[in-house]
A and B are shown apart, each in its own frame.
Chain A
Amino acid sequence: MDMTQLSPDEVILWQRGFVTINATIAFTWVLMAVLIVASWLVTRRLTSSTDIPKGQNALEAVVEFLRDEISEVTGGDRPTAYLPFVGTLFLFIAVANLLAIIPGYLPPTASLSTTAALALAVFLAVPGYAVARQGPRAFLRRYVEPSPIMLPFTVLGDITRSLALAVRLFGNMMSSAKIVAILLVVVPFIFPVLFQALGLVFGMIQAYIFAVLAIVYIASGMTVTQKSASGAEGRTPEAATDTTESSGKEQ
């Protein structure tokens, strides 16, 4: 990717007729292959003894971390139900961003197409989980409470937060790739490496944020009947930041 290209979508590797294979598609395939083969190799011989292989140890740590995060956000509410979806999101984004240490690799998350697809998956998972858990009536009632006047705003909020989810990941990852590309032209020595390392940190944080936001959105789709049971866990992060802001003003 050079300076004039905005995203890996514009790096075309192969083209015949209307079929175009760009860097985003190719590296997403590579990524899926890496994830599947690595998981298959590790889970081929699982053991429950105390002497476990390195790979199993690493994957167990990841799964344990994800289960803890999910159960803390949802208030200890069946993390296994959300683990496949949220865990896949986290692993895909984290590996996509971490592989950026390999020269020539362009993270597919730096393309708006990929992040929009991921955000769309979250957008559809929110009603999916809520309807499967509480039925369509309870899910739809969330939109007309406390009053039907709020209906357009709630719908608008659902759409804009998915948009923000996509643009946030895209902007962060694209800016990391872009800064390195620009620095390679301006100061090609040492500095690009530092910023690449910084990009790895941001990549992990963005993967974590994307996964946590996915859980928060899914959990907020089910707040109505859980309000008495779980209390503060049902709060959306918007409300949480609002309180931070207002308490800062009071002083």
Chain B
Amino acid sequence: MDPLAIVALGSVITAGLTVAIGASAAAIGEARALDRGLASLAQQPDESAGITRTLFVGLAFIESSGIYCFVVSLILIFANPFLDLFR
């Protein structure tokens, strides 16, 4: 295999693994946060505005780790800086 193929193969496999692991971990975290958020909403419907806002902001924080993985994998696929070294 020439070096270009090796780099491309490694990039594609790594991109897939990055999204798979990153997305599932972020999803588990968000699901736990949503679980607690819904439970709190059921217990205290009067506080729904505050709980919902905190939930959204917290979910945004958790989600950013998944987004990082997604951005890294996109860079690996569409804007890989190492492919140009062997072209």
Contact = CB atoms under 8 A, between A and B. Distances in A.
Interface stretch (A47-55, A56-64, A170-178): A170-178
Contact of B33 (A5, A205, A238, A241): A241
Contacts of A245: 32
Nearest to B67: A171
Nearest to B37: A244
A228 interface: no
A161 to B, nearest CB: 9
Given A167-B68, A168-B60, A171-B70, A244 B50 contact: no
A171 B69 CA distance: 10
Interface of B is mostly: helix
A170 B75 CA distance: 13
B64 interface: yes
Contacts of B33: 241, 244
Interface string B42-62: 000000011001101110111
B58 A174 contact: no
Given A237-B57, A240-B54, A248 B68 contact: no
A238 B68 contact: no
Interface stretch (A28-36, A77-85, A94-102, A208-216): A208-216
Interface residues of A, number: 29
A197 interface: no
A6 interface: yes
B78 interface: yes
Given A209-B56, A209-B60, A167 B67 contact: yes
Nearest to B78: A6
Interface string B71-85: 100110011000000
Interface in B18-46: 32-33, 35-37
A247 interface: yes
28 contacts: A5-B78, A69-B53, A72-B49, A164-B61, A167-B64, A167-B67, A167-B68, A168-B60, A168-B64, A171-B64, A171-B70, A174-B71, A174-B74, A175-B67, A208-B56, A209-B57, A212-B57, A213-B57, A237-B57, A237-B58, A238-B61, A240-B57, A240-B58, A241-B62, A244-B36, A245-B32, A247-B36, A248-B36
Interface of B: 32-33, 35-37, 49-50, 53-54, 56-58, 60-64, 67-68, 70-71, 74-75, 78-79
